[in-house]
Homo-oligomer: A and B are copies of this chain.
Amino acid sequence: MPRTKPASERRAELLDGARSVFVAKGVAAATLEDITNAAGVSKGLFWQYFRSKDELVTALQHEYSAQFASAVRAAVAAVPGWPGKLDACVQACFDQFQLEKELHDVLFRHPAHATTDPGHEPAHHVLVEAIRALLADGTAAGAFDVTEPEVVAYLLYATMHAFDPAFRGSNRTPDEQLVRAAQRLFRRSVGAADPEGAGNMKEVSA
């Protein structure tokens, strides 16, 4: 004996249900019935909100990416100083991957997340773009030395996946150490001084 609810609420319930089922058993293994059960609705209702499982996955991916990017942007904005912003960017990415450890994996390793899927691209892009802006602005301010911000941003975006729990696999580097190392790598990559005791650069260039 169901009660009518606003569509946005139902949709959210379905998305929530899907998220938890996906995390629990993966996208491929999750049946639509699992999802509607988790959402507490009947099987048929699913098709009033999504045309297919893929559409649901895509919706979840968008949601995820949007949140990720905005968290990064906020973290960068909150910190003064270019090297600090760079560190904050790295830290924010790490935190985001920690936030819902399995979700990224389950959502983006799925084959549905095809190369050519135009739907997800913007999300990726928004994060690459955030990094690019950081590099370009820092370079313009004389703090960084990056001649091709677009390309470097893209490479660093790839690097960030080292934080993905699924990607880390058996890598047992402690979180703290991994983040510090990444920050140092990012700083060097943009030609900024190492975070603490900046002796490194000098020695090399000497």
Report if A148 contacts B (CB, 8 A): yes
Interface string of A107-141 (1 = CB under 8 A from B): 00111011110101100110010000000000000
A156→B128 CA distance, assembly (Å): 17
Is there a chain B Cβ closer than 8 Å to A67's Cβ? no
Give the size range of A's interface with the partner: 35 or more
Select the stretch in A9-17, A58-66, A71-79, A161-169 that faces chain B. A161-169
Complex partner residue of A154 from B115, B171, B192, B200, CB under 8 angstroms: B171
Question: Is A88 close to B, CB under 8 A?
Answer: no
Least CB distance from A82 to B in Å reads: 12
Q: How many copies does the complex hold?
A: 4
In the bound complex, residues from chain B placing their C-beta under 8 Å from that of A182 are 155
Q: Is the CB of A105 within 8 A of B110?
A: no
Q: Across the interface, do B173 and A154 meet the contact criterion of CB distance under 8 Å?
A: yes
Task: Report yes or no: A169 in contact with B201, Cβ–Cβ below 8 A.
Answer: no
28 examples of A-B residue contacts, CB within 8 angstroms: A27-B111, A28-B28, A105-B115, A106-B111, A109-B109, A109-B111, A109-B113, A111-B111, A114-B166, A145-B200, A151-B173, A152-B185, A154-B162, A154-B173, A154-B178, A155-B162, A155-B178, A156-B159, A157-B162, A158-B159, A158-B160, A185-B189, A188-B188, A188-B189, A188-B191, A201-B205, A204-B205, A205-B205
